[in-house]
Amino acid sequence: MKLRWIPLGALLVLLVSACAGLNSTSKNDESSDGMVGKELNSISLDAHKKVFSNGLTAIVVENHKLPIFTYYTYYKVGGKFEDEGITGASHYLEHMMFKGAKKYGAGEFDRLVEGNGGSNNAYTTNDLTVYYENLPSEHLATMIDLEADRMQNLLLEEKSFESERDVVLEERKMRYENKDNGKIYLKMMQEVFKGTPYGTSVIGKIKDLKSVTRDQMHDYFKKFYAPNNAVILIVGDFDKDDVFDLLEEKFGKIPSTNNLEKFKKEVVAKKGFDFKAKFNKRINLNGTSINPVFMLGFKGVKIGSVDSYALDILASMLGDGESSYLNQEYVQSRKPKLTNVYAANYTLQDAGVFFFGGQLLKGRNLKTFERNFKKKLIKSCDVALDARSLQKIKNQYLVGMLSGLDTNAGIAKLLGDREIYYGDYNFYKKEFGIYNSIGLEQVRSVCKKYLNKEDSIFLSIWNKHKKKGVR
Amino acid sequence: MKNLSIRAVYSLCLGLILSQSAAANYLDDNLRKLNWNGVEVVWIEDNQYPTYDVTVYFYDGALSDNSKRYGETELMLDQITAGTLRYTQKQIANHLEFFGASYGGSVTHEFSTYSISGLVKDIVPTVKKVCHIFTNATFPKKELAKTKRRIVTSLNNIVTSHSSLANRAFRKISLNGTPYANPVSGTLKSIKRIKQKHLLARLKHFNTKVKKRIYIKGPSGIKQLENVFNKDCNWKGSDVVLNTPDVPKAAKKIVTKEKKKTIYLVPIPNSNQAQIRVGRYLSTDETQGSYELKRFSSKYLGGGFTSRLMQELRVKRGLTYSVGAYSSSQRTYGRSGISTFTKNETIGETLQVIKDVLDKEASDIGKDTFMTAKRALKGNYLFGLESSSAFLQNLLFFDHINRPYKEIYDFPMVIDKVKAVDLQKTIKEYFNWDDQVIVILGSKKLKLPLINEGYIVKTINYKKFL
């Protein structure tokens, strides 16, 4: 089924940038047209948080619908902490975390999770490395033991370290080198954040992936995989007190890393997050696309900043759904220019990028399109944004959020993202209020402030562009 | 040790009983069957949140597309929002999106669905609008022309998505000679032939002739929908069933008689990774076999990190990032296969490992992996019940393949009784190396190493699959 109103932009808003939320106070709920208050009040998540003496944070939510649970572990380490020479280390380490620890050796993690009817996976971003598992409730104690074991005693065996290096290189090829959409996205992120800790890709440079040693990886693990750098979320069928007791038993004695926050600040301070790239430029990439694919990146803001909420709404108003301004102008218009178009406000922990993307229709001229698109964007701040579109987006955020709550994993992610980004798992209660309070003038204001031609980089990938190679 | 064993057995039995009773209780407590104007309605009552999902099932799909206009059913459901006499495309989109509703069609060869979801308080105006478009869609010529242009551009650009193109080529080659070989979305040629009148005829057929069933997840407020479906959609019960074409017992092999195994190589520019597809067509007779065993074989061979292929290809050798195996059926046909990719330099080794695993498992099932896969399937089953929306889709599919819901909650028990020899036979039947069609998509430079590995290589231009 096509989720017509959730293309990339809103997905980023709802999933990556962790922006949809709700407010249970009726005043804020009804500030627009009173459409959302009753629905918001239907949400009641009985979450409990505990911070252990070694700095580990755990949040648990009982949900007795079925005898199952979801377990999330957020490690506050991602691509931004990687020095030159070890780019891709966070993600490579994510792979290695499934390769055995002291108590549960090679292959045991997957055997115990999958063999008990569970599933598991992980992902790495510029800011975080996140692991998640779903299992029948009777195996919760085993899961806690497995996670505690690998947090403190990862093996990093030579043989599996080498075979996993090839696996990561294949993943890189699959996601970026053999896919034009991946290639152009990687390049945009590298260019917009050039010279900052976000300028090194999460997947890493090929030469670094080929050269990083087991010792370097072990050091990296020791620095960042510690209880005071982790947040655990467990949602499911159990007794919360039993779970806190088990966590205390298994994690309570794991030592924290001294001066970790100071060290992390020093690592990222070497470059700093202020934009250093040269903007107002064009980048052509050689690819296999028969028709050009484009991205247009602007300087953005970090998550939780005052303007970030209005920029989320702006992205959705411009590019979400068939009725959005850009869709109507460029895809559905009488003389369409694109096969598809999207807008996204990608807010990271310390900076952000606001971007557009799409694919040109056969026969459309790239340069003419670029000129026209930039010109229309400026005008869009006045002509594209109206009260009805604003309310539409607020309604869509509400539905998107409610839809995510029918699984333990959805609840765990909702709370976990907010704990990580706002230091308050309950922030979802305030968040929708913030969105709901945003008025049209505020959206127009950020539109004019950030969609500035001088602060943008236009990228395109096409088989007619000359080959220059992509790092 | 003895105590441990007893505990393990107890835990296993308890898990099974819990799983089965959870499903049975869930169905007993929450499932309602209704009849609206002769149309069967399956409703899962879910009061947790004020949201709903509605899926209309049509017992017809791409199989009955005109042979020169493949893709017309999918295009019809896509273009149904392109305009009516009363509303433009923009007005329709604006109306539905304002409520935060998601909506859209999905087409398989055998059946089609149209799904809508959103907030319960908006369910009536939303479904009314959907009924309006189903009964009044005009498929304006200008909108259709624009959409066709978009589809053609996107299809030409599929060369940038190696996995999608490999899937497309594999379907065409491995199902050659069967009515399932054409993609439901159509081809460059077939899309160009589809006109407004074809879509209008197709919609009329769907509205008046095709058997429908409505699946709903939501709280009791959804009862308001009966009036809307009866009056605004005006759908009635129908006994007309899909006009199934003659289904061959086997797919036609493009090239035969050579003793060596044939590989179909689809070269694409600028590729440093080879997409590998191995599999075969399952005839109607074969679809009648145990679906539980088919799922078991998929899980055992290529479902998760403990599966045989993942262990041999990724964990032990680092040859790939992912590998998956599947064996599944719709009502009249099915497919089994393996999907993976590897670097150009290791294409021969990867194929050899796949062959060795299939050969070995067809004669000697690994006991540990067998037990792991069995426990995995039984335990994982509970997660299929977690989301009511996902469970609803499961019920829809069971209705389509004409199997009782009882099989859903009997699943863990059936899996528990599977013996290693049953799995071995299933793998031998569906994954016999000699019967598999192999398609490789990647650099043209792969041809020589594949020949050196002893394969016959037939090269096919990727444009033939657009």
Using a CB-CB cut-off of 8 Å, the residues of chain B touching A136 are 15, 18, 379, 382
pLDDT over 70, % of chain B: 90
Q: Could you tell me the CA-to-CA distances from B234 to B42, B209, B239 in Å, in that order?
A: 18, 12, 16
Backbone angles phi, psi at A230, to 5 degrees: -130, 150
- DSSP state, residue A83: P
| pLDDT value for A17 | 28
Q: Which of B328, B180, B331 is nearest to B241 (CA)?
A: B331
Name the residue with higher pLDDT: A252 or B248.
A252
Residue given tokens 């009148």 in the structure block: B197
Interface check A111 vs B, CB under 8 A: yes
Predicted confidence band of residue A465 (pLDDT cuts 50, 70, 90): very high
**Residue A13: is its pLDDT beyond 70?**
no
| DSSP three-state, residue B32 | strand
| pLDDT value for B251 | 64
Find the residue in B nearest to A4 (Cα): B102
Q: pLDDT tens digits, residue range B224-278?
A: 899 999 999 999 887 665 555 566 666 665 544 556 899 999 999 989 999 999 9
Among candidates A38, A114, A179 on the partner chain, residue whose Cβ is nearest the Cβ of B376:
A114
Q: What angle do CA B337, B342, B343 make, to 5 degrees?
A: 155
pLDDT over 90, % of chain B: 76
**A59 backbone φψ class: left, alpha, beta (φ>0; ψ -120 to 50):** beta
Alpha-carbon Rg for chain A in angstroms: 23
Q: In what order do the strands lie in the sheet with B456-459?
A: B323-329, B334-343, B273-282, B437-442, B262-267, B456-459
Q: Could you tell me the CA-to-CA distances from A291 to A201, B124, B152, B156 in Å, in that order?
A: 26, 42, 11, 8
Predicted confidence band of residue A71 (pLDDT cuts 50, 70, 90): very high
CA dist B323 and B278 (Å) reads: 11
> What number is the average pLDDT over the span B14-42?
75
- Mean pLDDT of all residues belonging to chain A: 90
User: Are A417 and A427 spatial neighbours (Cβ–Cβ below 8 Å)?
Assistant: no
> What number is the average pLDDT over the span A140-152?
98
Q: pLDDT tens digits, residue range A213-251?
A: 999 999 999 999 999 999 999 999 999 999 999 999 999
Interface check A269 vs B, CB under 8 A: no
Q: Cα dihedral sign for A3, A5, A11, A15? A: negative
Interface check B367 vs A, CB under 8 A: no
Q: Which of A153, A158, A148 is nearest to A215 (CA)?
A: A158
| pLDDT value for A469 | 46
Predicted confidence band of residue B47 (pLDDT cuts 50, 70, 90): confident
Q: Do the bridges between strand B51-58 and strand B323-329 make them parallel or antiparallel, or are there none, so unpaired?
A: unpaired
Interface check A316 vs B, CB under 8 A: no
**Residue B4: is its pLDDT beyond 70?**
no
Give B93-124 as a 3 state SS string.
HHHHHHCCCEEEEEECCCCEEEEEEEEHHHHH
| pLDDT value for B11 | 43
> What number is the average pLDDT over the span A381-386?
92
**Residue A193: is its pLDDT beyond 70?**
yes
Backbone angles phi, psi at B73, to 5 degrees: -70, -45
| pLDDT value for A369 | 97
Among candidates B273, B378, B385 on the partner chain, residue whose Cβ is nearest the Cβ of A178:
B273
Q: What angle do CA B375, A121, B164 make, to 5 degrees?
A: 100
Interface check A115 vs B, CB under 8 A: yes
| pLDDT value for B246 | 62
Q: Could you tell me the CA-to-CA distances from B136 to A48, A73, A241, B60, B204 in Å, in that order?
A: 52, 51, 58, 20, 10
Q: Could you tell me the CA-to-CA distances from A312 to A7, A87, A275, A343, A397 in Å, in that order?
A: 13, 29, 20, 9, 10
User: Are A425 and A47 spatial neighbours (Cβ–Cβ below 8 Å)?
Assistant: yes
| pLDDT value for B203 | 97
The letter for the amino acid at A176 is Y
User: Are B362 and B424 spatial neighbours (Cβ–Cβ below 8 Å)?
Assistant: yes
| DSSP three-state, residue A110 | helix
Q: Which of A149, A141, A79, A77 is nearest to A108 (CA)?
A: A149
Q: Which of B365, B385, B268, B275 is nearest to B25 (CA)?
A: B385
Contact map slice: A 414-433 vs B, CB within 8 A: none
* Contact between A334 and B142 using a beta-carbon 8 Å cutoff: yes
Using a CB-CB cut-off of 8 Å, the residues of chain A touching B156 are 290-291, 362
Residue given tokens 């990296």 in the structure block: A220
> What number is the average pLDDT over the span B6-17?
42
Predicted confidence band of residue B24 (pLDDT cuts 50, 70, 90): low
CA dist A321 and A323 (Å) reads: 5
Contact map slice: B 151-180 vs A, CB within 8 A: 152-154, 156-157, 159-163
| pLDDT value for A10 | 33
Q: pLDDT tens digits, residue range A78-89?
A: 999 999 899 999
Predicted complex ipTM exceeds 0.90: no
> What number is the average pLDDT over the span B306-325?
96
* Contact between A135 and B272 using a beta-carbon 8 Å cutoff: no
| pLDDT value for B19 | 56
The letter for the amino acid at A87 is T
Predicted confidence band of residue A68 (pLDDT cuts 50, 70, 90): very high
Q: Do you know the residue count of chain A?
A: 471
Q: Which two tokens stand for residue A196?
A: 């900052």
| pLDDT value for A48 | 97
| pLDDT value for B384 | 86
Name the residue with higher pLDDT: A21 or A43.
A43
> What predicted TM-score, i.e. pTM, was given to this entire model?
0.90
Q: pLDDT tens digits, residue range A272-316?
A: 999 999 999 999 999 999 999 999 999 999 999 999 999 999 999
Q: E-strand spans in A240-383?
A: 281-286, 293-299, 338-347, 352-360
Predicted confidence band of residue A29 (pLDDT cuts 50, 70, 90): very low
Residue given tokens 């994954």 in the structure block: B431
CA dist B110 and B287 (Å) reads: 14
| pLDDT value for A26 | 28
CA dist A154 and A150 (Å) reads: 5
For the residues of A91-109, what is the DSSP string, one character each? HHHHHHTTS-BSSS-TTHH
The letter for the amino acid at A9 is G
Interface check A403 vs B, CB under 8 A: yes
Q: Could you tell me the CA-to-CA distances from A418 to A17, A72, B52, B186 in Å, in that order?
A: 10, 13, 26, 44
Q: Could you tell me the CA-to-CA distances from B303 to A127, B260, B306 in Å, in that order?
A: 30, 29, 8
- DSSP state, residue B311: I
CA dist B170 and B382 (Å) reads: 33
Q: Do you know the residue count of chain B?
A: 466
Interface check B352 vs A, CB under 8 A: no
CA dist A309 and A331 (Å) reads: 26
The Cα diameter of chain B in Å comes to: 76
